[in-house]
C-alpha cells in the first residue's frame, strides 16, 4: 500500500507511476488527497477538544477541592457535552479513514524508475541469456507424450479425482518431483536461507497483507466455511511471518525459503498454453523471501537474480532473464525479473520464476518494521522469488534431455533421484 506521505509530497510521481503501470482510475489519487486534507483538519479539531476536556477535567478536581460543588457540577456537564462531541468526531474520523483506506488498497505499487514502459509481454526487456539449446532426436516429443510413455504423470486420473489441472505424479515422475524439491531447498539453505514449512491456507489478514486481497480474490480458492484461502504461493504465509512485528536492524537481512503446493484457479486460461504441465491449478514450488533495509533492497534483488540464475545453470537449461514492462508487472511489484526456460520440443519459452522487489508496499499493509540504531521505527522492504516453480522446469527437463533411450537426469539431481536416466 502506498504511503500517505507520498500523496502529500509528490502527487505527480504517483500519477507518472500509475501511467507506466497502465492503471486507468487515476481519479482515485485526487480523492485520497481530498480525504486526507479533510481528515487532518478534523483531527486538529479533535485534538483541540481532547485538550479542552483534559484541562476541564483538571479544573473540576480543583473546584471540588475548593468546595465549589455547584461550579464543579456545571463544569462536569460541559465536559460531558464535549465528550459527546468528541465521540461524534471520532466516528467521522473512523469513517473517513475507512473510505481513504478502501481507495488506497485499489492502487498498485509504483514501478521503479528502471521499469520499461509497455503494455504487453512482448514489450519486456531481455536482460541476458544463458545456456545452450539441445540437439534432440529426430522424433522429439513434448513432455505430455514423454510422461505418458514412461508413466510419469497421469493427467486423466487427476481429472477423475479432482478436475483438469490437478495431475497425479506416479513412479519416477513422483520421484523426480521429490528430487527437485529437495535439491532446490538444499541449494537455498546452503546460500543462507532459513527453511520454514508454513500452512497451506491463510486467513484474510494474511492475503490482504501481501496484496492478494482484494486484487486477486477471484484467482484464489476460498474455503468459505472458515474464511480461509488456499495459498497461490509460499510468498503469502512466509511474508506474513513478520506481520505486526518490529525487527532489530542488527538481524537484517532476514532470508527464508519454503516448499509448498500452490493453488490457483487460473480462470480464463485455455488453449496450447495450458496443455500438460504448462498451466495447473495445483503445483509445487520452492520460494525464497527476503526482508531488508530499504537502502539495500535493490542490491538484494540483484543478488537473488544471480541466485536463481545459478540454479538454472546447474540444471543445464537454456534460459533468458526479462525485466518486465509496466503493463506486465504484478499489482504489488516495484521491479520484477522473469526467468524463462526454452522448451526445445514445444519450441517456446516457458516462465519458471519471477524475482521481485516490493519495496515497502507489502510491509506497509502488514506492518512489518525494523528499529534502527537510533531507535527509529521504519518499514522493511520485502522481496521474493521462485526458486523454482516445478511444473515447467520438469517439462523442460523431460523435453530438453530426452534421448532415443530415455531421459537423462542433470548431474546435480542424480544424488536426489537415485539414477542418471529415466527409462
Cα 143 from Cα 396, distance rounded (Å): 8
Each residue of 274-295: pLDDT tens digit? 789 999 999 999 999 999 999 9
Average pLDDT on 300-327 reads 98
Please report whether residue 264 resides in a domain: yes
Task: Judge whether residue 270 has pLDDT over 60.
Answer: no
- 139 vs 21 pLDDT, higher one: 21
The confidence score (pLDDT) of residue 268 equals: 55
Helix and strand element counts for the chain (H, E): 13, 19
Verify that 82 and 207 share a domain, yes or no. Answer: no
Each residue of 185-239: pLDDT tens digit? 999 999 999 999 999 999 999 999 999 998 888 899 999 999 999 999 999 999 9
Q: Which residues contact 69 (CB under 8 A, 6 or more apart)?
A: 63
Nearest in space to 336 (alpha carbons), one of 308, 364, 315, 368: 308
Which of 104, 130, 161 is at the close of a domain? 104
Q: Which residues contact 245 (CB under 8 A, 6 or more apart)?
A: 367, 368, 369
Verify that 182 and 84 share a domain, yes or no. Answer: no
Verify that 19 and 98 share a domain, yes or no. Answer: yes
Cα 366–369–375 angle (5° rounding)?
A: 155
* Pairs from 344-351 (Cβ < 8 Å, separation ≥ 24): 344/133, 344/134, 344/136, 344/140, 344/318, 344/396, 344/399, 344/400, 345/136, 345/140, 345/141, 345/142, 345/143, 345/399, 345/400, 345/402, 346/142, 346/399, 349/320, 350/278, 350/392, 350/395, 350/396, 351/392
Q: What's the length of the chain?
A: 423
First vs last Cα of the chain: how many Å apart? Answer: 51
Q: Are strands 245-248 and 319-323 parallel, antiparallel or unpaired?
A: unpaired
Verify that 91 and 125 share a domain, yes or no. Answer: no
CATH code, domain with 20: 1.10.287.40
Q: How many other CB atoms are there within 10 angstroms of residue 412's CB atom?
A: 17
Verify that 286 and 364 share a domain, yes or no. Answer: yes
- b/e sequence 226-249, b meaning 16+ C-beta within 10 Å: eebbbbbbbbbbbbbbbbeeebee
- Phi, psi for residue 262 in degrees, rounded to 5: -125, 145
Q: pTM of the full predicted structure?
A: 0.91
Each residue of 366-388: pLDDT tens digit? 999 999 988 999 999 999 999 99
Residue-range definition of the domain harbouring residue 87: 4-104
Whose grid coordinates read 509530497? 9
Verify that 71 and 212 share a domain, yes or no. Answer: no
Tell me if the bond preceding 189 is cis, omega within 30° of 0: no
Which of 77, 104, 131 is at the close of a domain? 104
Task: Judge whether residue 411 has pLDDT over 90.
Answer: yes
* % residues pLDDT > 70 (the chain): 98
Average pLDDT on 74-84 reads 81
Please report whether residue 111 resides in a domain: no
Cα 7 from Cα 340, distance rounded (Å): 36
Please report whether residue 116 resides in a domain: no
Each residue of 145-168: pLDDT tens digit? 999 999 999 999 999 999 999 999
Q: Are strands 153-154 and 168-169 parallel, antiparallel or unpaired?
A: antiparallel
CATH code, domain with 155: 3.30.930.10
Please report whether residue 99 resides in a domain: yes
CA trace torsion 230, 282, 265, 211 (10° rounding): 50
Task: Judge whether residue 74 has pLDDT over 80.
Answer: no
Task: Judge whether residue 69 has pLDDT over 80.
Answer: no
Cα 7 from Cα 26, distance rounded (Å): 13
Q: How many other CB atoms are there within 10 angstroms of residue 148's CB atom?
A: 15
Verify that 60 and 181 share a domain, yes or no. Answer: no
Verify that 128 and 98 share a domain, yes or no. Answer: no
The confidence score (pLDDT) of residue 82 equals: 83
The confidence score (pLDDT) of residue 272 equals: 56
The confidence score (pLDDT) of residue 271 equals: 56
Which of 54, 70, 104 is at the close of a domain? 104
Task: Judge whether residue 267 has pLDDT over 70.
Answer: no
Task: Judge whether residue 341 has pLDDT over 60.
Answer: yes
Please report whether residue 110 resides in a domain: no
Verify that 179 and 80 share a domain, yes or no. Answer: no
* Average pLDDT of every residue of the chain: 94
Task: Judge whether residue 269 has pLDDT over 60.
Answer: no
Nearest in space to 291 (alpha carbons), one of 230, 354, 367, 231: 367
DSSP conformational letter for 44: H
Task: Judge whether residue 63 has pLDDT over 90.
Answer: no
Count of structural domains, the chain? 2
Amino acid at each position: 500500500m502506498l504511503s500517505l506521505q507520498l500523496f502529500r509530497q509528490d502527487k505527480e510521481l504517483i500519477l507518472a507511476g500509475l501511467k507506466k503501470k497502465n492503471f486507468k482510475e487515476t481519479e482515485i489519487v485526487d480523492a485520497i488527497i481530498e480525504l486526507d486534507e479533510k481528515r487532518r483538519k478534523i483531527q486538529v479539531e479533535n485534538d483541540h477538544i481532547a485538550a479542552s476536556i483534559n484541562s476541564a477535567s483538571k479544573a473540576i478536581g480543583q473546584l471540588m477541592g475548593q468546595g465549589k460543588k455547584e461550579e464543579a457540577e456545571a463544569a462536569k456537564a460541559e465536559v460531558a457535552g464535549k465528550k459527546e462531541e468528541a465521540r461524534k468526531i471520532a466516528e467521522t474520523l473512523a469513517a473517513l479513514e475507512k473510505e481513504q483506506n478502501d481507495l488506497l488498497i485499489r492502487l498498485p505499487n509504483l514501478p521503479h524508475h528502471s521499469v520499461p514502459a509497455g503494455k504487453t509481454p512482448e514489450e519486456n526487456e531481455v536482460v541476458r541469456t544463458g545456456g545452450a539449446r539441445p540437439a534432440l532426436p529426430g522424433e522429439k516429443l513434448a513432455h505430455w507424450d514423454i510422461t505418458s510413455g514412461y508413466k510419469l504423470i497421469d493427467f486423466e486420473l487427476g481429472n477423475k479425482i479432482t478436475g483438469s489441472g490437478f495431475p497425479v505424479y506416479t513412479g519416477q515422475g513422483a520421484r523426480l518431483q521429490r528430487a527437485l524439491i529437495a535439491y532446490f531447498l538444499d541449494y537455498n539453505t546452503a546460500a543462507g536461507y532459513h527453511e520454514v514449512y508454513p500452512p497451506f491456507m491463510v486467513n484474510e489478514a494474511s492475503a490482504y497483507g501481501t496484496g492478494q486481497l482484494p486484487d486477486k480474490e477471484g484467482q484464489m480458492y476460498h474455503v468459505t466455511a472458515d474464511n480461509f484461502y488456499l495459498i497461490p504461493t509460499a510468498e503469502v504465509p512466509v511474508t506474513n511471518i513478520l506481520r505486526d512485528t518490529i525487527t532489530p536492524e542488527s538481524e537484517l537481512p532476514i532470508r527464508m525459503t519454503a516448499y509448498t503446493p500452490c493453488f490457483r484457479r487460473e480462470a480464463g486460461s485455455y488453449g496450447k498454453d495450458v496443455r500438460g504441465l504448462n498451466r495447473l491449478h495445483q503445483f509445487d514450488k520452492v520460494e525464497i523471501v527476503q526482508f531488508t533495509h530499504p537502502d539495500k533492497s535493490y542490491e538484494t534483488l540483484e543478488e537473488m537474480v544471480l541466485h536463481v540464475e545459478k540454479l538454472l545453470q546447474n540444471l543445464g537449461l537454456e534460459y533468458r532473464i526479462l525485466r518486465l514492462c509496466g503493463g506486465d508487472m504484478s499489482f504489488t511489484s516495484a521491479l520484477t525479473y522473469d526467468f524463462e526456460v526454452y522448451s526445445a520440443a514445444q519450441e517456446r519459452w516457458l516462465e519458471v520464476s519471477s524475482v521481485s522487489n516490493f519495496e515497502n508496499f507489502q510491509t506497509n499493509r502488514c506492518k512489518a518494521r525494523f528499529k534502527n540504531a537510533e531507535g527509529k521505527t521504519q518499514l522493511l522492504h520485502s522481496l521474493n522469488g521462485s526458486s523454482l516453480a516445478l511444473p515447467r522446469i520438469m517439462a523442460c527437463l523431460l523435453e530438453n534431455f530426452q534421448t532415443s533411450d530415455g531421459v537423462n537426469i542433470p548431474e546435480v539431481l542424480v544424488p536426489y533421484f537415485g539414477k542418471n536416466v529415466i527409462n
